[in-house]
Amino acid sequence: MSTMKAQVKWDKELTFSGQTDTGYKTVMDGNGQAISPMESVLVAVGACSSIDVVDILKKGRFDIHHCDCELTAERAESAPKVFTKIHAHYKVEGSGLTEKAVNRAVNLSAEKYCSVILMLKDAVKISTSYEIITG
């Protein structure tokens, strides 16, 4: 088992700075002055799964030019306003991409590899879609 550590420090008002044990820093805020903690979770879903999609396609020897992940989330009406649904739509551009390859990459990420999605899947309805951009 590996261990991950981070520290969050209060800066002012509702602004906090976080630093990971790898030395990376981020700022979060509860008043819209920086990314909110919930926004960061949503972005983490897209980043984690996009890493998988690109990596899987590259291992399949596809030449990937772009991969964008557009995320839409629904939240509960009352506190705690947890996510109830997240939809991730991938726009993938590359040479020779096939429906089969992109579908496989997206499904493998969502069902097997993306630790953020897998951590959330029992509490949040997560769906995916994709499109192949040719050009």
User: Do 3 and 28 have their domain in common?
Assistant: yes
| Report field, pTM of the whole predicted structure over 0.75 | yes
User: Do 25 and 44 have their domain in common?
Assistant: no
The mean pLDDT of 103-132, rounded to a whole number, is: 98
Residue 135 has pLDDT above 80, yes or no: no
User: Do 8 and 58 have their domain in common?
Assistant: no
The mean pLDDT of the chain is 97
Give long-range contacts, CB 8 A cutoff, 24+ apart: 40-43. Answer: 41/83, 41/116, 41/120, 42/71, 42/73, 42/83, 42/86, 43/71
Q: Which domain holds residue 16?
A: 1-35
Task: Give the per-residue pLDDT at 134.
Answer: 83
Q: How does pLDDT run across 5-64, given as a tens digit for each residue?
A: 999 999 999 999 999 999 999 999 999 999 999 999 999 999 999 999 999 999 999 999
User: Do 25 and 3 have their domain in common?
Assistant: yes
Residue 128 has pLDDT above 70, yes or no: yes
User: Do 101 and 124 have their domain in common?
Assistant: yes
